[in-house]
Structure 1
Amino acid sequence: MSDEEDSTPRGQQRIFGAGITRKTIQFVPAAIAPTQATQLAPPNVPSISPGDRYLNIVLKDGMPTEGHHSTSTEVPNHEKRPSQQQLELRGALCEICNLPIEASEGKTSTASTIHESSIAHMVCLTHSHPPSHLDRSRQGLKYLSSYGWDPDSREGLGATGEGIRAPIKAKVKNNTVGLGVKLKGTKKPPEAKLERLDAKQIRKKDMEDRRKRERLQEMLYRNDDVEKYLGGG
């Protein structure tokens, strides 16, 4: 057994972290005396409400902070009620996004156009779905439309719309066989297996192809008169 190993029984060993000095934690008491509460109360410093701060950042001209400071001792009803001056600066509220429409030098049409092109307004608009991609000249679509089905309604088939949205995709049938009939003997022939040759077999096959090619050339280009003259025939 090495010197570093501790031979003390497990029940007599010291708890991990024993002997380490720790600082005492000063917990906050549950109840504070009235005198201490007045001393710990934050000073009555005016602060800007979140709505006014947001308008100061968003609006071009900015919102005046004078006269609009709210303190922690104010009643919540006064914070929710904007003043007349604040309503005039904000302008009319949009019915869709409930945001103020900023008036630009008395031009209401220009201000409304700028507001309608803003991202905050366009996000609140209802999404318009594109028309269905189905071909209107199909007989199946005409048949379903005659029974009241609208392909642009984004609802399924059936009276209550619980079916699939699009009809079954048609496939071209190039034969005259009835539906579901399977022809016999239409199986594809098995593919021939590739024969792998070694170097000796490849050399032998090359020599046979060369003899065959020479024999074919001799049969095509052989001239008997020339052979008699040269004494080869």
Structure 2
Amino acid sequence: MDRLLAWTTGDVPPPLILWFNTPYEIGMDWALITLVLSFAMLEYSINVFSRGLKPLQEKIPFLQLEQFNEYFKRLYFRQLFLLVAVGGISIIGTYYAVNSLMVFQDTVPEIKDFFANTLTTRVFWIASISYLFLTIGLLHCLFFLTLDQPVFAMYAVLGGLIVNFTIGFICSRIIAFDYATIGLLAGSIAFAILSGFMARTFFKKLDYFYYSAF
């Protein structure tokens, strides 16, 4: 969404309907690297969640189902903490790893061009933080989808997209085209918060959702 908004505007009216800005695109692509470890963490978290459902359900008596829900609430917060930690480390590691290439900018023209525009670094930071919130929302949605509750995920995604478009459109038209990333940040935060509220209900009644999924 944010890229589409950025492609359709600019400091001067673009000559075509869609117009790529290289420093902006490089910053966005640079931020994508931060998702590699975060996506691996998402896979791990859902695997831990899925593997623990049946064994615990078989151990806990029917009259103590609240223990079942409480166990997975704690598991959720552990996985959320790990995801945020891995995401934060990934952002910092990616930033410094790419910046270490600056030693070659005098001999490699492409590297010099990469760091020539401060817009690239600004876009990287906004986009990478946005992606961190995005992965938090994805973690919630993966929990929902594991137990066949796509409606929770659908409402959270829809809310995030609306916020992304609205804020991104306003910022990219009033401030500057690269501020379409503010829409991405706002949409990702909205996605994480909305899905988080739904996750609260989900884990509070996890025994019911687990039963109804099969």
Specify the TM-score bucket, using the shorter chain as the normaliser. under 0.3
The structure with more radius of gyration: 1
TM-score (norm 1): 0.20
Higher helix fraction (1 or 2): 2
For CA contacts below 8 A with separation 6 or more, give which structure has more relative contact order: 2
TM-score, with length taken from structure 2: 0.22
